[in-house]
Structure 1
Amino acid sequence: MTQVTIAQLYPTELGITGDRGNVLAIERRFAARGIDAVSVKVNRGEELPADLDVLVIGNGPLSALRGVHADLAARAGELEAFVADGGTLFSIGGSAELLGEGVESAGGEKLSGLGILPYRVARVRDRRVGYIIVDTEDGAVVGFEDHASEWTLTDADAAYGVVREGHGSFARGERRGEFVRRGNAFAGNVQGPVLPLNPALTDVLIGTVGERRGFEPATVVSGELDEYAEAARTKILMRPTRDKGFKTIKV
């Protein structure tokens, strides 16, 4: 049986918005294909698995980002090599900010980024809260956004999605954009957790692993979990964000 390895980095500090659900969604989609997915939690000071296939990093407040910053910076070379080699990285919220070129708080404090993904982040006083729908080349992605950050892309070609409803993370021409992709590295601000709500996006990640490892993932027959996801997606897609009280909150 084919086996893949998934790691969740900093699950305590950067796992506050159901980020473990993203790991479980990847595990179950692999299992549905008869592929054994082994997942490990990696904390500060611990090594990533040598045979790593998927790295998931979640969300956390600015205080948590400060707490993991030194440890993450020490991994910069290893993470860059992983992404450059086609490794699959899925990063949401606070962790995505640190993978960029730097973060500046609303008060002027600056945290250096790893420079793995092409954007700078400014924390703002307007908090963007509500359901979000993002159109990507791989289909619509739905979820919930709750962040106070504005990204500025330094490579426009890395933009992965266009916001249909909601606010998003960055400007994309006259519209708003959400999700950045470099190779098989994905980063964004869509929570939920986002992968259980979006089986097609999860399958995109699985496909990148198969491409790197040299196997073709089988097509998955929709099961009970997909039916739950589809029901939730339909409610969001049929009732646009503006009808669900999407707000920009001053903080």
Structure 2
Amino acid sequence: MVSAAGTTGETPRELVIVSLYPRDMNIYGDRGNVLALERRARAHGFAPRVVEVNPGDPFPETVDLVVGGGGQDSGQGRVAADLVARRDAIRALAEDGVPMLMVCGLYQLFGHRFITHTGEELAGIGVLDVETRGGTERMIGNIVLDTAEFGEIIGYENHSGNTTLGPGSTPLGTVLQGAGNNPSDGVEGARTGNVIGSYLHGSLLPKNPALSDFLIGEAARRRYGAFEPRAELGETVLQARASAKRRPR
């Protein structure tokens, strides 16, 4: 019988968090997502270990959670070939239930392809059933989503990519304030299994601990068979969410 992590007197259990391409894909504060996962995992009684993986670096033997951020088109170009070379390994992890969060640029590359505004095509790895085309309209500002599983999600978007979803992915949420995946669909992000893609920066996770808890919980259940939440919502988080929600676009 597997006991829940975080039980009193239990040695903290390791969770290996892969930070994917932080050298090139770390814009608009996306490293804050890694820091939030570290802190939240500790609060739940785990011992997080972050492994940075840049182009050419090996993945660790054990992977519990993967998180990646956004970057400029030039940054995407630098990591795209390396990501495609890892396609089979990453898809195998995703199919095995490893939770992943990909923001903005890596959200696009986790889809089938990204066609830049100049017409250059960057191949994706197809973990998410999405496709993105660069547009002329920039979608920028505070954004609020309604989700069935995580309640309201609050973040900041800054992108000109127009992402559309295929039948293999569902939206992360419905847009209450902001643009989302594109100017017309009224939804934001994509999810296939435990893999989530989103345009929300800000950083996303510090203001949305329910999303952090989902990622940590799925990682713990996959590795240890159980997850016993221990962390509570702090007043600072609640104030940050309220402040971000009040700010105009």
Per-residue CA deviations over 1:32-72 (Å, capped at 9, x if unaligned) read 11110111111111111111101111110111111111111
Question: Distance in 2 between the 1:221 and 1:128 partners?
Answer: 33
Per-residue CA deviations over 1:165-192 (Å, capped at 9, x if unaligned) read 0000147xx7511121111101010000
| Shift, 1:103, TM fit | 0.8
| Shift, 1:209, TM fit | 1.1
Q: 2:61 matched to 1:26?
A: no
Indicate the residue corresponding to 1:199 in structure 2.
209
Q: 2:160 matched to 1:152?
A: no
Indicate the residue corresponding to 1:93 in structure 2.
104
AA paired with 2:79? V
CA RMSD of aligned residues (A): 1.5
Indicate the residue corresponding to 2:83 in structure 1.
72
Per-residue CA deviations over 1:89-115 (Å, capped at 9, x if unaligned) read 110011111110101112221111111
Q: 2:121 matched to 1:110?
A: yes
Runs of 4+ in 1 over 6 A off after TM superposition: none
- The correspondence for 1:176, drawn from 186, 189, 192, is 186
- The correspondence for 2:132, drawn from 121, 127, 133, is 121
Gaps of 5+ in 1: 247-251
AA paired with 1:79? I
AA paired with 1:93? C
AA paired with 1:148? S
Indicate the residue corresponding to 2:238 in structure 1.
230
Question: Distance in 2 between the 1:188 and 1:228 partners?
Answer: 24
AA paired with 1:117? L
Q: 2:229 matched to 1:218?
A: yes
Indicate the residue corresponding to 1:165 in structure 2.
177
Question: Distance in 2 between the 1:180 and 1:86 partners?
Answer: 16
SS of the aligned residue for 2:212 comes to helix
- Is 1:163–1:175's contact at 8 Å kept on the other side of the alignment? no
Q: What is the TM-score normalised by the length of structure 1?
A: 0.90
Question: Distance in 1 between the 2:185 and 2:76 partners?
Answer: 29
% same residue? 35
SS of the aligned residue for 1:158 comes to coil
Indicate the residue corresponding to 1:249 in structure 2.
none
SS of the aligned residue for 1:208 comes to helix
